[in-house]
Amino acid sequence: MNRIEKYAHLDIELPELPEVLLNTIQSEILEIMCVDKNCDKFKKVCLEYPVLKDAVYVVFSNYVKKSDHKYEKFIFLGEKGNELCDLSGRDFELYGLLKCVSIPHTQEYCDFKKYS
């Protein structure tokens, strides 16, 4: 298997990120995005799940159809990649809660996407 890492320095940006999450994110099995703390939907979700106030990132699968999100687990991470909690798609939807992650892609990944 040709292993092209997606994000540059993800292990440095998120030093407490568990290795299994690091590897699945880098290999595009799972995706990581930032939580949009300014959106009203996120503020409402935090009232029900106060631990999410410290969430900076969420890890999820791009491969699960929207109709099947109720079966998915969303893993919320703190500022350094530490796991805060995981919630089911039955609890709420991620749509409207996310913004792009600020960690840059590797040049190798960009080249691969450009030519594939």
Q: Is the pLDDT of residue 1 over 60?
A: no
Give me the mean pLDDT over the 93-110 stretch. Answer: 80
- Strand arrangement, sheet containing 73-77: 83-88, 73-77, 57-60, 31-35, 98-99
Q: Are 89 and 67 in contact (CB under 8 A)?
A: no
Give me the mean pLDDT over the 1-19 stretch. Answer: 87
Give me the mean pLDDT over the 40-53 stretch. Answer: 92
Q: Are 92 and 74 in contact (CB under 8 A)?
A: no
Q: Is the pLDDT of residue 2 over 70?
A: no
